[in-house]
Amino acid sequence: MKQAGWVIASVFVLSACGGGSASGGEVTLSLGHIANEKDAWHKGAIRFAELVEEKTDGSVTVDLFPSSQLGSDRDLIEGMQLGTVDFALVAGVLSNFHEPFSILELPYLFEDEAHLENVLYGEVGDGLKEELLAETDVRGLAFWMRGPRQLTAHKAVESPEALSGLKIRVPEIPASISAWEEMGAAPTAMAFGEVYSSLQTGVIDGQENPLALIESNTLQEVQDYLMLTNHVYGYVMLTMSEATYEKLSPEQQEAVEAAAQEATEYENALVAEMEVELLATLEEAGMTVIEPDTEPFNELATRVHGTYAERYGQDLYDAIVAAADE
């Protein structure tokens, strides 16, 4: 396993030598993501690469490209479809390629992390992975947990009224945009790689992400307030180009899938350990931490739930809500 730092153009060279053969020959594959090397995503990716190399007796090597080196989430997914990217860690932008994933991004859909786990690691999660593969030729290997999404801004936000007029960066996900509009903000969709400079220059007033991405990308340098809104309990999915998967031997395919499951356990445990530490780090860096009453935000955001349930699957939405009681 290598952590690469090449320019984006090198992905085409990498992919040219990356697609393995069914004979089980040696192959080097790429794995991209948008987080930096401090993030749990990257540490999980390192573990995944180590396990792949170990379980394939060195016949499959995974080179890692953190910090959007291979592009945005959208670029990574399109790269997997084209076969120029082999693996990627991607999240909500999957909804632009398979629309039912939009429902998972609805703020205040999940009651807590246990509710999310019931969904991802049950029949709903299995079904979404199968549909994603059929529709996009992107194979979902495993769901990894993330800390809940929190709001940061240049001013304190203790009620929806305080969101009025605030330009809040959100991912390129319609459900997120609609919910933040309903809560009173002016949501601005942009790639994550543009967030720091946009906050620094005042293009946007705030953003929302898990603590890990806030801290590892030093957003505390350009944001003064952290609101613990817990508005989305989210995931990141370890995905793979189906074109790459099909070029591997059955033994290599089995090894990759087993490595993905072991890396999931590692990453999930790491995320849980890091949450308390991350909050303390952000406070020490000077951020003012606010715990607002989330019920008013919840009441407004959930007004859009019915629209997206009708649009992308009432049965799916109902199954997710019901999973809270499992």
Render each residue's pLDDT in the chain as its tens digit; 326 residues: 555 543 333 333 344 334 434 466 899 999 999 999 989 999 999 999 999 999 999 999 999 999 999 999 999 999 999 999 999 999 989 999 999 999 999 999 999 999 999 999 999 999 999 999 999 999 999 999 999 999 999 999 999 999 999 999 999 889 999 999 999 999 999 989 899 999 999 999 999 999 999 998 999 999 999 999 999 999 999 999 999 999 999 999 999 999 999 999 999 999 999 999 999 999 999 999 999 999 999 999 999 999 999 999 999 999 999 999 88
Classify residue 287 by its DSSP letter: P
Give the position of tokens 């003012």. Answer: 288
Dihedral of CA atoms 69, 72, 76, 81 in degrees, nearest 10, equals: -140
60-65 vs 138-145, strand pairing mode: unpaired
- Residue count of the chain: 326
Provide CATH code, domain 149-233+277-325.
3.40.190.170
Of 72, 88, 69, 39, the C-alpha closest to 218 is 39
Q: Which pLDDT value is given to residue 6?
A: 35
Please state, in angstroms and rounded to a whole number, the distance separating the CA atoms of residues 66 and 13.
17
CATH topology match: 2-146+235-275 vs 149-233+277-325? yes
Q: Which pLDDT value is given to residue 326?
A: 85
Per the CB < 8 A criterion, the answer to whether 117 and 104 are in contact is no
Q: Which fold has domain 2-146+235-275?
A: D-Maltodextrin-Binding Protein; domain 2 (3.40.190)
Of 326, 212, 192, 320, the C-alpha closest to 267 is 212
Question: Domain map of the chain by residue range?
Answer: 2-146+235-275, 149-233+277-325
206-210 vs 149-153, strand pairing mode: antiparallel
Q: Which pLDDT value is given to residue 1?
A: 57
In one-letter notation, the amino acid at residue 270 is L
